[in-house]
Amino acid sequence: MTVQPRPLTGRLDQSSMRRANLALILRHLQRAGSGTRSRIALETGLSKATLSNLVVELIDRHLVREDGPDRGGGVGRPGLTVSLDGRAVAGVGVEIDSEYAAVSAVDLQGTVIRETEAPVDVVALGPEATLDRVARLIGRTVLSLTEARVHVAGITVSAPGVIDYTTGTLRFAPNLGWRDIPLVERLTDRFSQPFPQIALENDAKLAAIAEYASGYQQQGVEDLVYLAGQAGIGAGIVANGQLVRGWSGFSGEVGHLPLDPTGRPCACGRTGCWEGLIGLRALLRRAADDSDPIHDPRRLLEDRLTELHERAVAGDARVLEAIHDVATDLSRGMSIVVDVLNPEVVVLGGYFAILGDLMLEPVRAGLATRRMDDGSAVRVEPSRLGMTSTSLGGAIAALEEVFRDPLLVPVQARG
């Protein structure tokens, strides 16, 4: 679940040493791309002989493959290029949202190889019926992968709420109306064994993993905050290259930061909460009258946001002002998070990303007025992963297990 390997806490014996070196090669290929054996040996510090030996093991498990001779020129015998093999192993991520469920499958190279989405009215259906549908989506994807002889390394399901990691229980998800649902157990029960392991994670935290792993990690960014603009506001925190979940999984619950003591009361009991200022409802309220069709809950959220964007581009003064004001209030809360954590990058997700081109400038301007020192100048970037970042993060998190211990993948993954 953590993106960087946790420290090896237990004893080290020869087999775990070999495991760690196998993982090192895999991770190196992920970061640096393909290379010949001798180059990889040089770059990892392993001897050529050892590296050759380990590569054989990785090829046996179809985690790595030989691409053919390296036509890079230069004098001497050209080496055979080896690279991550994306054909045999995949991770699966599943997002459960109040309006839809989405499934993504990602291979070792980070390529999305399956993507499904289905509208699900979670609140109306309730947990059991929802999980029936989700299980059907998962089952179809896993079956399709299995038939294509792809080994599923694991499945990570996301929910917009607080999670008990010891039991795989969704403790509280206000937007779904769920409380204390043992999601992992209920989903696992719906499949015949053996079935890939299912894990549960928070949506914003998975999105943070996705952003970190697909891009920023390569840039050397180790401290990142993902801010999701949805009905509520959620944050996912990566510090020291590790996901920060907090003591009881509550980290990043920033929706109820008190930003406006004179503001309107919030359902949580406080007043002037951040998500009351910049949550989805607040944005729509600011942007249009109650009678406006943009408030129609039966329309797809993405369509309504696209329409809002079009209105802004067309010059609708009220919408422009709403977006500007929301962006300013976003920057106010963001400066708090930045003061506490000092991330290198803040990634804007959810509806912030859809309206990104319009919000970015006022957000950066708002941050600039509140900055005390140039050393802490944070980068603010819109998410480039779009709405799939959460399920993508789930798939990546599942694959992390393979990058930590390549021996988890059986030898006969492909016929």
Which residues would be at the binding site for DNA (CB under 7 A)?
11-15, 17-18, 21, 36-39, 45-50, 52-56, 69-70, 73-80
Nearest approach, Cβ of residue 21 and DNA (Å): 4
Q: Which does 151 bind (CB under 5 to 8 A by kind): DNA, a copy of itself, none?
A: none
Nearest approach, Cβ of residue 13 and DNA (Å): 4
Distance between CA atoms of residues 79 and 206, nearest Å: 38
Beta-carbon count within 10 A of 284 CB: 18
Nearest approach, Cβ of residue 399 and DNA (Å): 22
164: CB partners within 8 A, 6+ apart: 170, 171, 248, 249
Q: Which does 261 bind (CB under 5 to 8 A by kind): a copy of itself, DNA, none?
A: a copy of itself
Looking at the Cβ atoms of 32 and 56, the one nearer to DNA is 56
Nearest approach, Cβ of residue 272 and a copy of itself (Å): 10
Question: Which residue from 88, 27, 82, 15 is spatially nearest to 55, judged by alpha carbons?
Answer: 82
Distance between CA atoms of residues 164 and 378, nearest Å: 32
Q: Is 409 exposed, middle or buried (0-12, 13-18, 19+ CB in 10 A)?
A: buried
Looking at the Cβ atoms of 64 and 173, the one nearer to DNA is 64
Q: Which does 275 bind (CB under 5 to 8 A by kind): a copy of itself, DNA, none?
A: none
Nearest approach, Cβ of residue 40 and DNA (Å): 8
CB 401 within 8 A of CB 388: no
Nearest approach, Cβ of residue 35 and DNA (Å): 9
Looking at the Cβ atoms of 308 and 397, the one nearer to a copy of itself is 397
| 135: three-class secondary structure by DSSP | helix
The count of C-alpha atoms lying within 13 angstroms of the C-alpha of 155, restricted to the half-sphere facing its C-beta, is 24
Q: Which does 370 bind (CB under 5 to 8 A by kind): a copy of itself, DNA, none?
A: a copy of itself
Looking at the Cβ atoms of 38 and 271, the one nearer to DNA is 38
Residue type, 136: R
Q: Which does 37 bind (CB under 5 to 8 A by kind): DNA, a copy of itself, none?
A: DNA
Nearest approach, Cβ of residue 252 and DNA (Å): 38
Bridge partners (DSSP) listed for residue 265: 271
Looking at the Cβ atoms of 18 and 285, the one nearer to DNA is 18
Looking at the Cβ atoms of 299 and 370, the one nearer to a copy of itself is 370
Question: Which residue from 335, 179, 328 is spatially nearest to 257, judged by alpha carbons?
Answer: 335
Question: Which residue from 409, 414, 399, 394 is spatially nearest to 147, judged by alpha carbons?
Answer: 414
Nearest approach, Cβ of residue 61 and DNA (Å): 14
Nearest approach, Cβ of residue 64 and DNA (Å): 12
Peptide bond into 293 cis (omega under 30): no
Q: Is the dihedral of CA 136, 138, 144, 149 positive or negative?
A: negative
Residue type, 341: L
| 81: three-class secondary structure by DSSP | strand
Residues in the chain: 415
Looking at the Cβ atoms of 53 and 248, the one nearer to DNA is 53
User: Tokens 């079935």 correspond to what residue?
Assistant: 195
**Which residues contribute to the site for a copy of itself (CB under 8 A)?**
2, 4-14, 17, 20-21, 24, 44-46, 162, 171-172, 221-223, 235, 237, 239-240, 242, 244-254, 256-258, 261, 268-270, 332, 335-337, 339-344, 370, 372-373, 375-376, 378
Q: Which does 2 bind (CB under 5 to 8 A by kind): a copy of itself, DNA, none?
A: a copy of itself
Q: Which does 55 bind (CB under 5 to 8 A by kind): a copy of itself, DNA, none?
A: DNA
Looking at the Cβ atoms of 111 and 218, the one nearer to a copy of itself is 218
DSSP letters spanning 5-16? PPP--S---HHH
57: CB partners within 8 A, 6+ apart: 22, 406
Could you give the angle at the alpha carbon of 162 between the alpha carbons of 182 and 323, nearest 5°? 135
Q: Are strands 198-202 and 224-229 parallel, antiparallel or unpaired?
A: unpaired
Q: Which does 328 bind (CB under 5 to 8 A by kind): DNA, a copy of itself, none?
A: none
Looking at the Cβ atoms of 72 and 119, the one nearer to DNA is 72
Q: Which does 162 bind (CB under 5 to 8 A by kind): DNA, a copy of itself, none?
A: a copy of itself
